[in-house]
Amino acid sequence: MNYRLELRKISKSFGEVQSLRDIDFQVGQNEVVGLLGDNGAGKSTLIKIVTGYHQPDRGEILFNGKRVEHLTVTKARQLGVETVYQERALADQQTLWRNIFMGRELSHRFGFLDLKTMKSETNRLMLESMGFTSAAVNPESIIKTFSGGEKQGVAIVRALHFRADLIILDEPTMGLSLQETRKLLEFVRDIKGAGKSAIFIDHNVFHVHSVADRVVVLDRGTVAGEFQTKDITLDDLMEKMYRVAQTGSLE
Ligand SMILES: Nc1ncnc2c1ncn2[C@@H]1O[C@H](COP(=O)(O)OP(=O)(O)OP(=O)(O)O)[C@@H](O)[C@H]1O
Ligand SMILES: [Mg+2]
């Protein structure tokens, strides 16, 4: 079977700085890939290439085995890529149900918005997928009253409910409380449960180890190594990360 996403020999420079050099990277169907690496290793640059935000200088991008030329943000969306950033994903002043259906509103036959179905569907998603039990949260709640973790939960559930096949999370736990982080990690496991794929970036090795099927370590723009998480203990992974930071190599 083809990879959901494959990068071949991707390179990207910003002026003098080479952020990525000959990167080979794959995400399988229904696979969660953790991306680890120190500050400036090139993680966000890699993600921005996948989302069509940056064009690579060299290399190939394939979705489901098909090469895509000149990937743009719009094209990446159409190919099922959704990104979840903390705070940025949602319209703060709008209600929960409007955020869920934003850009994909349901209508009646004559073009009137089908408010009733959108609200009841939001209620169902809220209870079944988001696990919001707080009495304060309902489909009419305004998003800005949500916690950072709840907002990201909404963004992930929305991505899952629609056509996203590859969900990208760049440092989603940053600024979250312990409780919110736990909830977020559960959402990432739901992505896997729904048969979709994800790329998960986090500085916390423990978080990455606990949700990823495979971990890819970047160091100064190159892939320093990769592991199946089932083959490596958390301690060993941490040890290897320290080694990469010190020597630039996993050996
Ligand atoms: N738009 C840009 N213009 C110039 N340099 C950039 C740009 N984006 C990234 N870089 C440089 O590319 C390198 C990789 O940056 P990137 O943001 O991909 O790292 P990162 O692994 O996401 O780091 P962090 O963990 O700090 O988020 C850095 O040296 C950075 O300064
Ligand atoms: Mg980054």
Same domain? For 78 and 166 the reply is: yes
Same domain? For 83 and 178 the reply is: yes
Same domain? For 68 and 175 the reply is: yes
Q: What is the pLDDT of residues 2-31, one digit of tens each?
A: 999 999 999 999 999 999 999 999 999 999
Range of the domain at 127: 94-141
Chain mean position to CA 93:
24
- Mean pLDDT lowest among 11-25, 69-83, 125-139: 125-139
Tokens 């986090």 label which residue? 202
Q: What mean pLDDT value characterizes the chain? A: 88
- Mean pLDDT lowest among 1-10, 120-129, 196-205: 120-129
Pairing of strands 81-84, 166-170: parallel
Ligand 1 site, CB within 6 A? 14, 17, 19, 37, 39-45
Same domain? For 24 and 127 the reply is: no
Residue closest via CA to ligand 1's atom 12 equals: 19
Give me the DSSP letters along 59-94: EEEEETTEE-SS--HHHHHHTTEEEE-TTTSS-TTS
Same domain? For 77 and 111 the reply is: no
**pLDDT on residue 251:** 66
Of 77, 111, 141, which marks where a domain is finished?
141
Classified as helix, coil or strand, 115 is helix
Give me the DSSP letters along 156-196: HHHHHHTT-SEEEEESTTTT--HHHHHHHHHHHHHHHHTT-
Phi, psi of 209 (to 5 degrees): -60, -35
Contact 174, 133 (CB under 8 A): no
Instruction: Measure 103 CA to ligand 1 centroid, in angstroms.
Output: 31
Mean pLDDT of the region 51-76: 95
Q: The CATH number of the domain where 22 resides is what? A: 3.40.50.300
Same domain? For 26 and 117 the reply is: no
Report the number of distinct structural domains present in the chain. 2
Instruction: Measure 29 CA to ligand 2 centroid, in angstroms.
Output: 24
Tokens 């496991």 label which residue? 189
